Structure formats: structure tokens, C-alpha cells
Structure 1
């Protein structure tokens, strides 16, 4: 009778992949692994964010109030920062706002974050506000731990109440760029590359208009 020695070579490839993903899932590393793969995709430059021409206002979205008059996006919305401080979205009035809605369990969110951090460092200005809005349900401490581990320095918040309707989206991450007048001038659903000349020029062009 022939005796067959065990060899990893005899294990089907699909079984090896299934085992690998099983280990990643059980250890909670699957989100990071998928995020890393998607980060490589962003590095190819094929997922650049779409922004209108700097001189164009045609895509601005005015939010209609119940009275029919236009109002600022995020009016009445409040957020909580990583130190427990309540921040009114309206306190950003007069600034260009780059707002990204994300979560720690979202691989595409994790994939685009280093790029957003790079954009934040490049366009640093008291006239441009970054709002990294986490929709995690684990509370401030969970998000704070995640951000600290990653070493990100952009401002991070959690909703202190229900999201305004104008910030609803069918995808996560979703990014909004809001003008100093409070109008949504760009919206990107899904991950994208933001630290590009086009995005930087678009943000800075709105600052110059003030």
C-alpha cells in the first residue's frame, strides 16, 4: 500500500485562498488587506476625483428650505470631535469645506485616506476646512484609536445627530466639496484620488474668489 506524504502542493488553490481570507476575517485584518489592494488601484491614477472647472459655478447645488429659499448645506447639523467637543457645522461658514463620510470598517475609505491626508497637508489654509465625518457606531474612542494608529492629522468628527438630507448617499465613502456660501459644488461617491493638481486648484480657486 502506497503511503502519501502530506504536501501543501496537493491543496487546491481555492482552498488556500479560502483559508487565507478566513484567517484575515477572524483576525479583523480583512478590511486592512482589501484597503491595501484598493490603495494600489488608486496609485494607478485611474480613480481621480471629478471636480468642475475652477471658474464654473454651474454644478452648485442649492439646498431648498421649507420656505423655498435657498439655505446653507448642513444648516443646523452638529458634530462631535475626537475630544468630545460639540461643533456646529455652521461654524465653518465662510470657508471651503472638504467633507468625507467614512467608517473604520470600510476598505475603500481606508484606501483613500492617506491620499486625503496628503491633500490636507498640501492645501493647509485657515480658509479650507476638512471634515472627516465617521459614521461608525462604536463611539468616539473607537474612531480615535483608529486615527491615532494610522497617524492621520486631519480633523475627524462623528455626527452628533441625524445627517442632513443633502449629505445622504448610496455609497461610502462619499466626499462633498462645499463653497464658502454653503453650496455643494462637487460630490464624489466611492473612493477616489484627491491629492491631484485639479482638486488642489479647485479648492484654492474658491478661496481666491472670496
Structure 2
């Protein structure tokens, strides 16, 4: 009986990841964005109607969280990102949620409200996903004050959360 319960839990956790991999693998092949490279340009509009470009974040440490509303690890990252926003926002941290959901922007807006996201969220098109070389979600990029990719994290765990915070502290001190 224990084995079946364990299998069900495993299936519930891995099925969304497998679906995310399938969706993202159907995208055209893109170059993998590397640490130390200039972050690709962005031109988005947030769910609240604000236009956003990468230049809006010049001089700030930017955490870009590529997520989907149906992704379980993506949902698990949100409380940590909200906490980072609260803790380091006044020191120069900015967080931008970037949804890869297809379909209605209304679903993303409802998700933002239901999950109490404290940072702006926009929906990325295929071109932006290709520019950032997305292969899985969540994918979190940390971009330094000069617009360069400082770190890239794929997936989410307690270790990832600590590494993201350590990176933020280091970059804010520069």
C-alpha cells in the first residue's frame, strides 16, 4: 500500500513537469542564454497595463521568474519571491514574473490576485521564450545592475531558494 501512495505522490509532482517539458520542447530550438551574457531585450505589458522594457531595470538587480499558472514548482516559488521582494525591494531588487501560459490573460490576472503576487507579472510570447532559451519552468534569471545575466536557476527547491537569495545579496552589494 505504501508503494502505491508514494507512486501517486510522485505522479502528481512529476506529471506537470513532464507536461511543461513537452510544451517547451515543442518550441523552436533556441540558443541557451549563458551566465555573463547580456540579457535579451524585453518589451512586455504587465497584467495591470504597464509597459516594461529591460532598460526600466537598469541599476537594479532583476529577478525574472518564468512560470506557468498550472506548474506546481512555480507555485511553490511564489511565497519565496514575495518574501525576497519585501526583504530586498528597498535595497534595489526588482522581481518580474513572466508567464508562459497560452490562452487568456484573464487566467494569469486571476492567478496573480489569488496567489497575492507582490511584483509585476507579464505574459511572454514565443519570441521572448526563444530569446531566453527556455527549456523548462520554472526558470529564474537573476540579472545584475548592468543588464548582464548573473545566474540562471531551473526548477525550484529549498536549495534553489537559498542560492537565489545568496546571489541577490552579492549583487546588491556590488
TM-score, shorter chain, exceeding 0.5:
yes
Match for residue 90 of structure 1? 55
Equivalent residue runs for 1:41-190 within 5 Å: 60-62=35-37, 72-75=38-41, 77-125=42-90, 127-159=92-124, 162-163=127-128, 165-190=130-155
- Work out the CA distance in 2 between the residues paired with 1:112 and 1:85: 24
Q: CA deviation at 1:178?
A: 0.7
- TM-score (norm: length of structure 1): 0.60
Q: Is the 8 A contact 1:179 1:206 kept in 2?
A: yes
Q: Quickly say closer, same or farther: Cα 1:111–1:182, change in 2 above 3 A.
A: same
- TM-score (norm: length of structure 2): 0.71
Cα RMSD (Å): 3.0
- Work out the CA distance in 1 between the residues paired with 2:164 and 2:137: 20
Which runs of 5 or more residues in structure 1 are unaligned? 1-12, 22-32, 36-58, 63-71
Aligned pair partner of 1:202 in 139, 157, 167: 167
- Bigger CA radius of gyration: 1
Work out the number of aligned pairs and report it. 149
Which runs of 5 or more residues in structure 2 are unaligned? 15-33
